[in-house]
Chains A and B, each alone.
Chain A
């Protein structure tokens, strides 16, 4: 394994933030291995995105402006990644640990008979081998895993753990040929965007989450959303809030939701049950707002402010907006 291939996840020309994190990680790892960093961009808007990618340290950008990638689920993406992998020879393939990334990663691993590591927060070369580090068991342990007896190692990288770095690489753009394929089996009949332009909880560097204490659906689109917007972040939720039907499941943080590592996590009206904790314990800083001084989240939050969320959150939004307008 010498070269490193980053799969660039995008939707209608808009890249996911993690894609630039992957592009940077690919270069750093390729430098350690003495190989090249490649990016694979497929689908509508791929050419424009390829230009943006020139601002990141990538050596070769493989592009396929192929509408099939938007009309059919996953299989076209896997075919293109496979064709690049076969052209580079033994390689590390970085995919994001997101819904699409997991599908691409697992299928390409099966297809190439490669090894797979998931939810990876660090990757490096140790003793001549590629080593992936990932939290396991709800973050209780950290494991280091090496590939063995394989030509391809697929590493599914947790969003928000690698820093993206703007720095031009060779940026050679190569048009990919359409792989000769049978027809694609899964048709996307409709692609419904309900929350356009919203950052997902996995990708946001700040997440403001609400729990049962928030009391209903409304605050999620008003006071919590306002605070998240002021901080440039996303709105998350506990399972209690999701099960009550206040917020869609895609916002849920925890064991049966998403595992996230934002720089800042603000838990509003959330008690901090173990199943919630495993989804956010690797956040950089945790702030909790709760009216109960004895809540479990107080045991692991960096700051617990005891008070009424309905009073504190709007005031906090105001202060954050002021602070951002006039940098201290």
Chain B
């Protein structure tokens, strides 16, 4: 069975994120790039499935990102994946959710898969829209927000988180799943894994190799950023010492009354 994990490369959360006022895009140079933290859960879920299924099950990492992202993709390989494929092309710059999902779907068809594992969202955009759109373009069932996943034979089943519980869901392969952070605790790459990753293959695909029938990148984007503004700053408010519980409660109640919240 072939499992493909989609990973996004994002600016480090602790790094100072900046938007270029001219292009209205995230500046990705000079900022440390990391694996989207959500995708580590996806990689771990795929590796656990491989360990369980054994045999000829393989895990491939897939990322649509500039070639400079290779070293970060290698980190995913160091966790234990077998190989990787990247879709890298200058023509993809400025893609929105639509273009990203469309181009990725065409590339993933070429790579081939029985199961695709996505993270639920990315820390730079936090749209969480890619997995659904990708499933639609691939024409496969999209089982999203899973906190448990299992594959047996030709079926994938899982527990999908809901706001007040969970749902047991099941579908036939090939399929796409997205996994939440409650699914597992991602492993750290071992020294052996890090050394081994250097020898693993990272294939690069370009747009020319895909049969796209519509424009992607900025030309194909269906949304356009008109304006970017700094959000209003939340200033420091009041600080009051409470002499005991009742005093603390009194301070808060008075404050809530003043704010017309009580």
A189 to chain B, nearest CB (A): 4
Contact residues in B for A206 (Cβ distance below 8 Å)? 261
Taking a contact as CB atoms under 8 Å apart, the answer to whether B144 and A99 are in contact is: yes
A interface footprint on B18-47 (CB within 8 Å = 1, 0 otherwise):
010000101000000000011000000000
Given A188-B167, A303-B240, A319-B250, answer yes or no on A107-B133 (Cβ-Cβ < 8 Å).
Answer: yes
Taking a contact as CB atoms under 8 Å apart, the answer to whether A189 and B170 are in contact is: yes
Taking a contact as CB atoms under 8 Å apart, the answer to whether A131 and B144 are in contact is: no
A interface footprint on B156-179 (CB within 8 Å = 1, 0 otherwise):
010011111111111110010000
B interface footprint on A89-117 (CB within 8 Å = 1, 0 otherwise):
00000000011001111110111011111
B interface footprint on A245-270 (CB within 8 Å = 1, 0 otherwise):
00011100001100100011000000
Taking a contact as CB atoms under 8 Å apart, the answer to whether B255 and A140 are in contact is: no
A249 to B98, CA, bound (A): 29
Does A147 reach chain B (CB closer than 8 Å)? yes
Taking a contact as CB atoms under 8 Å apart, the answer to whether A305 and B252 are in contact is: yes
A316 to B247, CA, bound (A): 9
Taking a contact as CB atoms under 8 Å apart, the answer to whether A194 and B166 are in contact is: yes
Interface size on B, residues (CB 8 A): 90
* 29 pairs, A vs B, C-beta closer than 8 Å: A99-B163, A103-B142, A110-B98, A114-B222, A116-B129, A117-B223, A137-B26, A142-B230, A144-B228, A147-B222, A148-B221, A186-B170, A187-B170, A189-B157, A191-B167, A249-B181, A256-B123, A274-B13, A286-B234, A293-B239, A303-B237, A312-B248, A315-B245, A315-B246, A316-B248, A316-B253, A319-B253, A320-B253, A328-B262
Contact residues in A for B259 (Cβ distance below 8 Å)? 264, 285, 302
Taking a contact as CB atoms under 8 Å apart, the answer to whether A98 and B132 are in contact is: no
Contact residues in B for A23 (Cβ distance below 8 Å)? none
A199 to B175, CA, bound (A): 32
Q: Kindly identify, within residues 159 to 214 of chain A, every residue whose CB is under 8 Å from any CB belonging to chain B.
A: 185-196, 198, 200, 202, 206
Question: Which chain B residues have a beta carbon within 8 Å of chain A's beta carbons?
Answer: 13-14, 17, 19, 24, 26, 37-38, 96-98, 101-102, 123-137, 140-145, 147, 157, 160-172, 175, 180-182, 221-231, 234-253, 255-257, 259, 261-262
Majority-rule SS of A interface residues: mixed
Question: Which chain A residues have a beta carbon within 8 Å of chain B's beta carbons?
Answer: 11, 73-74, 78, 98-99, 102-107, 109-111, 113-119, 126, 131, 135-150, 156, 185-196, 198, 200, 202, 206, 248-250, 255-256, 259, 263-264, 274-275, 281, 285-287, 289, 293, 298-308, 310-312, 314-316, 318-320, 323-324, 328
Majority-rule SS of B interface residues: mixed
Task: Look across to chain A and name the residue whose beta carbon is closest to the beta carbon of B105.
Answer: A110
Contact residues in B for A192 (Cβ distance below 8 Å)? 165-168
Could you say which of A73, A142, A149 contacts B143, with CB atoms under 8 Å apart?
A73
Taking a contact as CB atoms under 8 Å apart, the answer to whether A106 and B97 are in contact is: yes
Given A99-B161, A185-B172, A186-B169, answer yes or no on A144-B252 (Cβ-Cβ < 8 Å).
Answer: no
Taking a contact as CB atoms under 8 Å apart, the answer to whether A306 and B249 are in contact is: no
Could you say which of B123, B127, B172, B243 contacts A118, with CB atoms under 8 Å apart?
B127
Contact residues in B for A146 (Cβ distance below 8 Å)? 223-224, 226
A188 to B259, CA, bound (A): 45
A150 to B162, CA, bound (A): 32
Task: Look across to chain B and name the residue whose beta carbon is closest to the beta carbon of A73.
Answer: B169
Contact residues in A for B182 (Cβ distance below 8 Å)? 248-249
B140 to chain A, nearest CB (A): 8
B164 to chain A, nearest CB (A): 5
